[in-house]
Chain A
Amino acid sequence: MSDRSLAIRSFTDLANPTRFVALAGRLLPWLAGLTAVLFAVGLTLCFTTAADYQQGETVRIMYIHVPAAWLSMMGYSVMAASALGTLVWRHPLADVAAKCAAPIGAGFTALALITGSLWGKPMWGTWWVWDARLTSVFILFLMYLGLIALNRAMDDAGRAAKVSAVLILVGFVNIPIIKFSVDWWNTLHQPASVLRLGGSAIDPEFLRPLLVMALAFTCLFFTLHLAAMRTEIWRRRIAAMRRQAARGAASA
């Protein structure tokens, strides 16, 4: 295939899975490289900056925990946007995007929960508190797992995509309600005894590594997402070929 045929001339060209796979193949090494560089810089910054006078060395967990938590929400937003693409524009790549974002988003959410728990032990003296944030993220994690399970349970990819798109969107609409209700519930049961993070202004000393790490995590997300989408397209091609082979044998 010549270079010119790979050029993306308009948004609709992106809809063509063949073009997408070719483009993804060209982008992936660069994106992966960028991710590696950002992680190298970010991790160096993480371990060279000063420790917090109050929290000590444990503050370094924040550089993993906070970006992971951000990405857990971005992952769901990517899924919601893709779900909209599936239902409204019937974009052939949108369902692939939504399906592939779920495990990655769930991974980041799990990372945020685990690092949060590791951070909570020295800070709060317990592995888990039913803090409003932790609880909301935990519910988000459950929603991710439910959607992954749903996708695995259905054999027809197109049907699975539409049905899960409905659920993703309803979940997306529901997230503010869940957040609000959990906040309500939390203030009812635990009147402001829990240390709240991010409430105070963060010193630039901590902010710089945090932002670099956030960027690195975002790049990692898109690298993984792109790779997963390419794999999924190939997987569907193989499935289609197998079905054709079965029918070819039947009519022979």
Chain B
Amino acid sequence: MTALFLRDLKLATRAGGGALTGILFFLAVVAVVPFGLGPDLKLLARVGPAMLWIGALLASLLGLERLFQAEREDGALDVMLMQETPLVFTVFIKCLAHWTASGLPLVLVSPLLGLFLNMEPQAIGATMLTLLAGTPAITLIGAMGAAVAVALPRGGLLVSILVLPLVVPVLIFGVSAAYAAVEDPAPFLPPFLILIAITLFFAVIGPAAAAVALRAASE
């Protein structure tokens, strides 16, 4: 299993991998925001956490589509389906590797972008923390979409359309918690704990659903 994790990390970081593309996309999306909203620093500080979250959400979805499609194209998926390792576990490890290679860097660069958006240190910290707790959920839900993409002659955009309605709760609680840390009366902990609960919930549902879809798609 560590072999699979390491292989996927290697693939993501080598030339053809998508890890860097995701970060660049995140940077580009957030950099475009001030052009749309105007350089009003107060306004930017206010929408900052939301923009970081939406940027991270889109960037996560961007790379997910290839998660299983690449494996199918070169036939590796067939071999993986035949192993004694439960497919659910294989999917989970692949999600973990994918998140480490492309989700974690997003979390790590988010403070830098927070500075661009004139966010307070506390808001930056809260956003980073919620991203850390929430982006795995996006990957795990997206894995299901990626498994569906395997069956499609041309996957692409459809995966994002299918996955976006399902990640609405993640976005809501992530952004709520980030704002709650800054705005005084709202409590930070309840939405943050719900966010973690959602992540854990999809750590079970996501790989299981993706495994069923992969089996169906390989027939």
Contacts and interface: CB of A to CB of B under 8 A. Distances in A.
B148 A167 contact: yes
Contacts of B169: 174, 177-178, 180-181
A159 B216 contact: yes
B213 A146 contact: no
A155 interface: yes
SS class of chain B's interface: helix, strand, loop or mixed?
helix
B102 interface: no
A181 B172 contact: yes
A150 B209 contact: no
B208 to A, nearest CB: 9
B57 to A, nearest CB: 14
Interface stretch (B21-29, B124-132, B160-168): B160-168
Interface stretch (A98-106, A112-120, A182-190, A232-240): A182-190
B103 to A, nearest CB: 20
A67 to B, nearest CB: 24
A42 B164 CA distance: 38
A92 B46 CA distance: 53
SS class of chain A's interface: helix, strand, loop or mixed?
helix
Chain A, interface residues (CB within 8 Å), range: 35 or more
A78 B92 CA distance: 30
Interface string A141-182: 011011101100111101110111111011101100110111
Interface of B: 144, 147-148, 151-154, 158, 161-162, 164-166, 168-169, 172-173, 176, 186, 191, 194, 198, 201, 205, 209, 212-213, 216-217, 219
Given A156-B151, A159-B216, A163-B151, 15 more contacts: A146-B158, A146-B162, A146-B165, A150-B158, A150-B162, A153-B152, A164-B148, A167-B162, A170-B205, A171-B165, A174-B166, A177-B198, A178-B165, A184-B176, A188-B176
